[in-house]
Structure 1
Amino acid sequence: MIYPYHNCLDSALIQNGYIKNGIKKTAIVNIDRDLNEICKGFKRQFSRDIKKASKKEIIIYESQNYEEDIDLYYNQFQKLLIDRVIERTGNCYKRVSYALVPYSYFEMLRDVLFPKKMARLFFAEYNGVKIGALINFYYKDTIYLGHTSVLRGEYNGLNAYKLLIWHIIVDGKKNGFKNLDVAGLHPDETHGQYHFKMGFNGQVKEIGVYSKSYRYDEIKHAKAIYNELRGLK
């Protein structure tokens, strides 16, 4: 399945055999404004949490060694994310499978997108411990919220996740980006993920969902005929 974020891709997908079979929603935060104005648009609790986190000596910085840090992200933070999904879903394979991103995917990010600054990795560090990590994607004037994972337990109240997002807004604005795409909203508007992402005061946008059939049934049928013919010899 593909969720294109640009309407210009629609015709290209259709020409290549993809079928539009649904709609997803995302939210776009306009960061081409004064920082105080952006922050005022956040959910009140978000603004408070970001201010509190900023005072707790949490350091946010960009990775300068993608070769090693992508391994760290995969082996530590991606594993944490998978464990959390397993816990929340009761180990439902269908829902856990969305978090099972292969290492080869992160290798491609490291080798293709990171050198071009189309993907960047940020860490949140507290008392010398990396407590959070965030991979974002950058295209034209928009930042796309990517993979995020933070430590829980004793670090749960530090709001590292919100501070990471605030940092990329500040950094993105500084580097000329105009929008932050929160990369998808949960279809259930009562869900916690929906409320969290909408807390950044983004404008809801609909995006198409495209899928492509690889004619598995036809291949299966052809194989059955082939086996039948072989049996007649």
Structure 2
Amino acid sequence: MKIGEKIKYILDEKNLKQIDLIRFLLGKEDIEGSERTRFSRYFSGIHEFPNEYIIKAAIFLKVDPKILLTDKKEIIDHNAQLYTKIVPIVGNSGCSVPCESYFKDWYDDTDETTVYSGDADMVYAIRAFGDSMEDYIYEGDICFFEVLKNNGLEDGEVVHYSFDFGSDNQDINGIKVYKKNPDGSIYLKPLNERYENIEIDKPEFLKASRLLHIQKEAKKF
């Protein structure tokens, strides 16, 4: 099943109109006859569905883009809890973890954005900077993080961290592995052995969010 055919299938399953999707993709209300014909050929599989529209089509359909890109029809699960949304890229890894209220007001037109598919709520993206997490995260990688209420971090998870004002480490932030000592104390561990661990003497100042995705699944160390 081609991408256009799969989109038509999902439109029918969700009782959505092709014309509304075309309006969404082209960003205008009035659709010309030639444009209807062109998209009709995409939906019928006569012509390949353009790559430039795939992510936007997934957003309109509220499905994971992987569903459109896979060759397997049977993975289309309309009861799945995954959803696709636009999230902000807040900067490089040397920036602070955004607060909860940020996600109500981030939509400033100057913000750079990307697309996230999953069931997490408060999600943002940053570009990795430096080499302290090689050979897992490389400079320039887009990393997706979830802001956690009351922390809830587990030993071995990769986190984006910063410190509240008043901490001795308030100017330090980045990406590291969240680790717990046997006595319950916390430290942040780089994967590159050229860098030292960061001991956390006042965990109440630590702000950290969990890595969800880079270009591969997050893992523990």
- Structure richer in helix, relative to its length: 1
TM-score range, shorter chain: under 0.3
Q: Given the two structures, how large is their TM-score scaled by the length of structure 2? A: 0.21
Q: Given the two structures, how large is their TM-score scaled by the length of structure 1? A: 0.20
Of structures 1 and 2, the one scoring higher in RCO (CA 8 A, sep 6+) is 1
